[in-house]
Amino acid sequence: MTEVHPASERSFTDLLAPLVQPAYRLACAMLHDAPAAEDVVQDASLIAWRKLSKLHDHSKLRAWFLGIVANECRNAKRRRWVSWVNLGLPSVLSVPSSEENSVKRADLRRALLQLGHDDRLVVVLYFYLDMPVADIALVVGASTDAARARLYRAIHRLRPGLAIEEALR
Amino acid sequence: MSLRRDVHSAFDQITPSMGGLPERVVQTVLSEGATRRRREKMLFRIRAPLSLVAVLLLIVLVAAVFVGGRIVQDWNALHKSSPAGQSNQSQLAELEARPLQLPVLKAATECNTGPWNSDGTVGSGPLSIYGGLGPRTSWGTYWNNVFYTDQQIAGPIVVRVRDVVNNVNVVFVGKYAAGPVVGTDTLNGTRVQQHAELVLYANNAALVTVNPPSKPHAFVWGFTVGVPNDSTGSTGWQVDGMGFSEVFLSC
């Protein structure tokens, strides 16, 4: 990873640009709200810019930045809690069978929404951003074992009948 | 279908194209950087004047505290002059020099409280006294009492109290307590000095007028008197003022 000089916006933005896409995907998956996700990414970028001097190991920039995004998602949810009240889909869906896959996807999103922030975060990072558990641990600020345990627990809550080995494929 | 593929599929469905988001983010950061630099320059420019203002404010604050303190001190001296600060020190010395005229009793059983007055309090005048039990300590018992009078008072009034059976000193603490310090005690968690006498002035009486008996009085002094454990509880009180001397018993 290129050395980042805090005073140089250009070097920072060069490093930041490739991180915007995973950050945006993470925010969309966490918030289920594209405009809010974009706001979160913008805010997280500014926070990262201001606090960059505190990051001593720049090889961890990606995990550090996604950690800021995750934290901003949590804050965004707190700020917008009212709008989340009605976000879930109805418990019984009546749709044509041709849209069965769409319903399954909606069901999965709804199930993920019912997970707590921390559990949902590890699922999104592992299954959607395809990050290894060691990197997830850096994002959530926990040990690798703790991150793995949290992931297993989240999978169990998400799909109680699914074997962990099968889920991790 | 694996869970990973399901999750990808579920979220890809709700994640729209970024539509130039990376560029917008970069622009935001660059713009913030420029703003930040301007702010830092401005801060640098006003930092020195700010320091000067802070020093001036500090000087003004210290001066205000000093001047305020002097004003409060002068105000207190004017309105609540302490006995020691009174101009009539010679009158006080004269009253303190008066010999005690208290009776000497052989036993506490001989002691009778009085003389009583028409208010139902003790004292033949011009001062009268009433009170009630205050805090107890390992040293003795304190009483929260009140002297009052309706007569005009000129000069100091000195009050001295002794046990009329065994001549043990009875002491005063707190407001109006004066004269030699004869001991210390801890009262309601506060260390207090015990004085041998009480000195009252017309201008240090309480501003409020209270009963008894349900009528206002010209001058009222609330004070605390301490009776040691080795006292018999038979106390003789001598109240000396300019032109009068009053003695009463409290048993």
The torsion region of residue B19 among left (phi > 0), alpha (psi -120 to 50) and beta comes to left
What is d(CA A51, CA A101) in angstroms, rounded to the nearest whole number?
43
> Which of A41, A125, A152 is the mutation pick for testing B, counting most B CBs within 10 A?
A41
Q: B37 CB near a chain A CB, below 8 Å?
A: no
- Identify the DSSP state of B100: P
> Is B7's CB within 8 Å of A32's CB?
no
What pLDDT does B185 receive? 94
Q: For chain B, which residues make up each domain, given as ranges?
A: 3-79, 103-250
Q: Give me the interface pTM, i.e. the ipTM.
A: 0.73
> Chain-wide mean pLDDT for chain A?
79
Q: Is B226 helix (H, G, I), strand (E, B) or coil?
A: strand
Nearest to B156 by CA among B195, B202, B217: B202
Q: Mind telling me how many Å the CA of A3 is from chain B's nearest CA?
A: 18
Pull the structure tokens for residue B118: 């028409």
- Angle CA A32–A157–A67, to nearest 5: 50
pLDDT, residue B72, reads 83
Task: Give A101's contacts in chain B (Cβ within 8 Å).
Answer: 9
Residues of B in contact with A159 (CB under 8 A): 3
C-alpha distance from B45 to closest chain A C-alpha (Å)? 20
The shortest C-alpha distance from B44 to chain A (Å) reads 17
Mutate to test the interface with B, among A11, A33, A49, A99 (most CBs of B within 10 A): A49
Which pairs with CB-CB distance under 8 Å and at least 24 residues apart come from B171-174? B171/B195, B171/B196, B171/B225, B171/B226, B171/B228, B172/B196, B172/B197, B172/B198, B172/B223, B172/B224, B172/B225, B172/B226, B173/B142, B173/B224, B173/B226, B174/B223, B174/B224
| Digit-coded pLDDT (tens) for B62-98 | 999 988 888 887 777 666 544 445 557 888 999 999 9
At residue A8, the pLDDT reads 59
Looking at every residue in chain B, the average pLDDT score rounds to 84
- In A, minimum Cα distance to B31 occurs at A9
The pLDDT score that the predictor gives to residue A4 is: 43
Looking at the predicted structure, is the pLDDT value of residue B226 above 90? yes
Within 8 A of B36 by CB-CB distance, chain A residues are 50
Residue A49 CB partners (closer than 8 Å, separation 6+) = A9, A12, A16, B29, B32, B33
Catalogue all structural domains in chain A, each as residue range(s) with its CATH number: 11-95 (1.10.1740), 97-169 (1.10.10.10)
Cβ of A45 within 8 Å of Cβ of B16? The answer is no
Whether residue A146 is predicted with pLDDT greater than 90 in this model: the reply is yes
Task: Say if B38 is an interface residue toward chain A (CB within 8 Å).
Answer: no
**Span B157-187, pLDDT tens digits:** 999 999 999 999 899 999 899 999 999 999 8
Give Cα separations from B188 to B57, B137, B169, B221 (angstroms): 41, 9, 22, 21
Q: Which residue of A has its CA nearest to B13?
A: A105
Residues in contact with B143: Cβ distance below 8 Å, sequence separation at least 6, in sequence order:
B131, B132, B133, B134, B224, B225, B226, B227
Cβ of B9 under 8 Å from any chain A Cβ?
Answer: yes
Whether residue B20 lies within 8 A of chain A, CB to CB, comes out as no
Residue A98: how many CB atoms within 10 A of its CB? 7
- What is the DSSP secondary-structure string of B131-161? EEEEEE-SSEEEEEEEEEESS---S-EEEEE
